[in-house]
Amino acid sequence: MAISAPAGHAAAAPGATTIKVQASTGDGARALAERELRFVDLKVAMAANPPDESYRAELADWESQAGS
């Protein structure tokens, strides 16, 4: 039995599950805008509450362990 697929699409093996995914440019633009807003909020929060020395020491320790 031959398997045929529409032009531009790969044929799936018999019994295989296929998933159709559609990406919308509008959805991508909206997600990017939301991400940028989260970073703006984070920057404002960090400016209002800067990290203290104990946080910086813990971060430096974590970074040195991550590089090992």
Q: Is 17 domain-assigned?
A: no
pLDDT digits (tens, 9 = 90+) for 21-67: 666 778 888 999 999 999 999 999 999 999 899 999 999 999 999 87
Q: Is 14 domain-assigned?
A: no
Q: Do residues 23 and 30 make contact, with C-beta atoms less than 8 angstroms apart?
A: no
Q: Is 55 domain-assigned?
A: yes
Instruction: Specify the number of domains making up the chain.
Output: 1
Q: Is 47 domain-assigned?
A: yes
Single-letter code of the amino acid located at 40: V
The three-class DSSP label of residue 47 is helix
Specify the residue for token string 């697929």: 5
Q: Is 51 domain-assigned?
A: yes
- Residue 62, domain extent: 29-66
- pLDDT band at 7; cut points 50, 70, 90: low
What pTM, to 2 d.p., does this model score?
0.43
Q: Is 56 domain-assigned?
A: yes
Q: Is 59 domain-assigned?
A: yes
